[in-house]
Structure 1
Amino acid sequence: MKIIIIGDGKVGSTLASVLSKEDNDITIIDKNANVLNQTNDDLDVICIEGSGLNIKTLHEAKVKESDLVIAVTNQDEINMICCLYAKRMGAKYTIARIRDPEHSEEIKALMEELELNQIINPEYTAADHISRLVLWPTFSDIELFADNKVLLTKYKIDDCSSLIGKSLTDITEFDRANILVAAIERNYETIIPKGDFIFKKDDYIYIIGEVHSINMFLQQRNKRYNKLNDVMIIGGGRISIYLAQILLKNKIKVKIIEQNPDKCIHLNQILPDAMIINGDGTDYDFLLSENMNSTGAFIALMGHDEANIIACLIAKNSGAVKTIAKVTRIKGLNLIKDIGVDSIVSPKLLTANHILRFARNLKVKEDPSINELYMMNENKMQALEFSVEHAYDFLDIPLKDLKIKKNVLIAVIVRNNKIIIPRGDDCIKLNDRIIIITSLLKIINLTEIF
């Protein structure tokens, strides 16, 4: 597919990197020559210096021939106009980044008036993801599938775990709870385990199953599965605003530390139920005076990765139950977790999940069956949810009789709102939804797993 990305910032460059690996022809438009030169050195893409608002520049990018135009500059209004121009000039599909909270209630109207096919909001997406990590604090990562009925979660095997030294076959509690060990991260590699797999300390386990089943499993293992009661958020940007709104609706107390006095006034106006404190989120003594050591979750959302990581490490050592850091650099995410930060959230990667799903569905317009896509372990493995909407040859045949490709796991079948952890005798049927885990990173429809 021919894809044009307008804006070569943090989100744009990440999208270009991910989409260029999917056999797409990528063109990037940006006014900053230095940024474009760096992207040109790193990626096999076409770079055009100019503005997405300039008709001549759009013609140079051959927008008329484009399958998809994605506008991700730093200004919502520019993104909207770029997409409107692109659509009028012949682009088949358009996606705009619109992130101002003031526009959140107008999304449907904006999509209709501007003929947008999708709107992305990295800040809201990140806030929604962080809220799940607060609601399920045991896990270092989490994703929901099948209309929030199925939970894919990740947690670390600690020193006291009864799993250490045992094989997957020896452990019956997963089967009893009707959940599946879908994948293991070990030494930065991701494995789909077989029955003889032996668990080790510091392994990260991905488990998948019905939300209720996973909650019961945690309760039986005496793990903390209830939501936390309070959070401390460092930084008062857009993510913090969205996150506070979500958490307050869930009856979680919110304290936001922000260094800019003017921002504090604004936060007080739009978040009257949150506690807003003017102060330096990197000042250890100040954070202690604000009871950092007894907070449920400490969430660092400042503008610099290093500041977020260091703040979380200090909070963890001071007694914070859960630490979450926002990062913009993708490489080395696992290393950050290894040094003691409980959860890492990358708005760029979360956005790329949504765009990648949309782009893959465009490649099979007659069968756009990918409902969800989730990149695991720095995109070394993916979880995908498909809808079974056609009479495929593999339907109604026991899974044990199908030739499923190596490194593909059919993890869950959703049928009439029932969650099935499939065994060899189970079949895929018409109108099912299927969740697979795979290291094959270019799958666009179900037929490619057989």
Structure 2
Amino acid sequence: MLIAKKPAKQGLNIIIVGCGKVGLTLIEQLVKEGHDITIIDQDAKKVQEVGSIYDVMGVAGNGASHRVQMDAGIASADLLIAVTESDELNLLCCTVANQVANCSTIARVRTPDYSGEASYLRDKLGLAMIINPELEAAREIARILYLPTALEVNSFAHGQAELIKIQIPENNILDGMSVAMLSKKINTSVLICGIERSGAMYIPSGDSLLLGGDKISFVAPKGHGRFFLEDIGIKTNQVKSTMIIGGSKAAYYLAKQLLPMGVSVKIVEQDLKRCEVLSELLPKATIINGDGTDEDLLEEEGIDSIESFVPLTGIDEENILLTLHAKQISKAKVITKINRMNFKDVISRLDLGSVVYPRYIISETIVAYVRAKKDSMGSNIETLYHMFDSRAEAIEFRVNELSAVTDIPLMDLSLKDNLLICFISRNGSILIPTGSDSIQVGDTVMVVTTHTGFNDLQDILK
């Protein structure tokens, strides 16, 4: 008997221009996902080093050069991602690629002037996507400050659903309660989809017990997460004031998010010219010209009474020390921005409050796009988020056509282990599903799993 097997999915040919922090994160993640990567960078030594570490092809030169792109194989590339330090160079790289090849292009664009015109640039230059790590980090920080009890807040279904991570306080109502009992005792639409305890992470079943000290992630329709936290006795009021150290692009984007929310913003920046620029851009914020690592200055500016504290310097070590200092002398909600991943185990053991990794936010966005582009059958990936130090993935799929997972009660699907269907978004409403619910064409569906590499919703089946 001849049995036809489904052909193995081939990786994409991807060119990455720029081997900085974001470029290296993308290379690491996309190599892990099985794609063929070619790198371009002006620094020949860096090209050689990165090529040998990740076993990828490399070309030294200007990524916007037609000749260099041809040497890198642009003619057969599926995707070019330009993530150099220069917005203009990134846009030019993508423009050249679009002229000489039939491939998709993604550009990193960080300057506020360009970011305000992102949709115009994307349409006119034929880009698949424009990414801005600082803007995305600011959005994530703002979501956390809106719900400061949370360690993380991520958005799904175009903002209609949230994935929220908290730590259960000792002797809380949840301490010793099973997941199944939770839905009977707490009248809120949430689903617990991940538990971290003593360094181990797992996806719970109804029998799983919740304990004080656990870090849990749960999914809820927008706004319902706040109700759930109030029901279990956890304070949820958004912060009314914040102190930002460093007047970077991320600080500007964060202030632009917070000021309309009624949050008073104070930015401490050492460079006088940058202070003058920020004063013009952010007339409602208080801009302080001074050294944000000066303890006396911080005390003078009221760090002990501020409700939230966000160090956004360009130096991870400074951000970490500032966070630890703030936690010692104030009750402020602290958020730490970290760019590098060195000493990740050490960092995870420090009490840094919420930690935001801008380059991982961006790599997840790009990996979601790449997976959706890679031979998906009846669904597309809308959103991807790595949970608990990448030990689990939250993936949002859009269901485009009938398949083996549609029109069948969830209880009758043969699902893989270590997997939960967390919500179904249908006609603008978020449904926390029961076993009798089914997935329909047109839905978006969020799945949390410890399996990696899902490209299509049908991958949830055994």
Q: State the TM bucket, normalised to the shorter chain.
A: over 0.9
Residue 277 of structure 1 aligns to a residue whose secondary structure is strand
Whether contact under 8 Å (1:188, 1:334) holds in the other structure is: no
The residue that corresponds to 1:372 in the other structure is 383
Residue 110 of structure 1 aligns to a residue whose secondary structure is helix
Given candidates 191, 195, 208, the residue that maps to 2:202 is: 191
The residue that corresponds to 2:338 in the other structure is 327
CA distance in 2, matches of 1:408, 1:55: 46
Deviation digits for residues 199-239 of structure 1, max 9, x if unmatched?
A: 33432100111123222112222322221101000000100
Unaligned runs of 5+ in 2: 1-11
User: Is structure 2 residue 179 aligned with structure 1 residue 158?
Assistant: no
User: Is structure 2 residue 84 aligned with structure 1 residue 73?
Assistant: yes
| Alignment CA distance shift 1:347-1:256 (3 Å) | same
Given candidates 28, 42, 51, the residue that maps to 2:62 is: 51
Given candidates 364, 372, 375, the residue that maps to 1:353 is: 364
Deviation at 1:365, TM superposition (A): 6.2
User: Is structure 2 residue 455 aligned with structure 1 residue 441?
Assistant: no
CA distance in 1, matches of 2:69, 2:286: 46
CA distance in 2, matches of 1:437, 1:127: 25
CA distance in 2, matches of 1:373, 1:402: 23
The correspondence of residues 152-231 of structure 1 with structure 2, limited to 5 A, is 152-172=163-183, 176-231=187-242
The residue that corresponds to 2:429 in the other structure is 418
Whether contact under 8 Å (1:261, 1:278) holds in the other structure is: yes
Whether contact under 8 Å (1:188, 1:377) holds in the other structure is: no
The residue that corresponds to 2:7 in the other structure is none
The residue that corresponds to 1:95 in the other structure is 106
CA distance in 2, matches of 1:41, 1:164: 49
Given candidates 20, 38, 42, the residue that maps to 2:31 is: 20
The amino acid across from 1:423 in the alignment is: T
Deviation digits for residues 159-184 of structure 1, max 9, x if unmatched?
A: 23233333323434676312111111
Given candidates 233, 238, 255, the residue that maps to 2:266 is: 255
- For normalisation by structure 2, the TM-score amounts to 0.93
Given candidates 319, 323, 335, the residue that maps to 1:308 is: 319
CA distance in 2, matches of 1:41, 1:204: 38
Residue 256 of structure 1 aligns to a residue whose secondary structure is strand
Deviation at 1:98, TM superposition (A): 1.0
Deviation digits for residues 297-334 of structure 1, max 9, x if unmatched?
A: 10010011111011011101111320011101235556
The residue that corresponds to 2:297 in the other structure is 286
Unaligned runs of 5+ in 1: none
The residue that corresponds to 1:399 in the other structure is 410
Query: Which stretch of the first structure deviates more once superposed, 68-77 or 384-393?
Result: 384-393
The number of equivalent residue pairs is 450
The amino acid across from 1:344 in the alignment is: V
| Alignment CA distance shift 1:183-1:384 (3 Å) | same
The amino acid across from 1:415 in the alignment is: R
Whether contact under 8 Å (2:379, 2:401) holds in the other structure is: no
CA distance in 1, matches of 2:167, 2:53: 33
User: Is structure 2 residue 278 aligned with structure 1 residue 267?
Assistant: yes
Give me the identity figure in percent. Answer: 36
Whether contact under 8 Å (2:153, 2:162) holds in the other structure is: yes
Deviation digits for residues 373-407 of structure 1, max 9, x if unmatched?
A: 11112222111111112011332211111100112
User: Is structure 2 residue 239 aligned with structure 1 residue 234?
Assistant: no
User: Is structure 2 residue 19 aligned with structure 1 residue 8?
Assistant: yes
Q: Could you say what the CA RMSD is over the residues aligned between the two structures, in angstroms?
A: 1.7
The residue that corresponds to 2:355 in the other structure is 344
The residue that corresponds to 1:140 in the other structure is 151
User: Is structure 2 residue 123 aligned with structure 1 residue 112?
Assistant: yes
Residue 182 of structure 2 aligns to a residue whose secondary structure is coil
Deviation at 1:265, TM superposition (A): 1.2
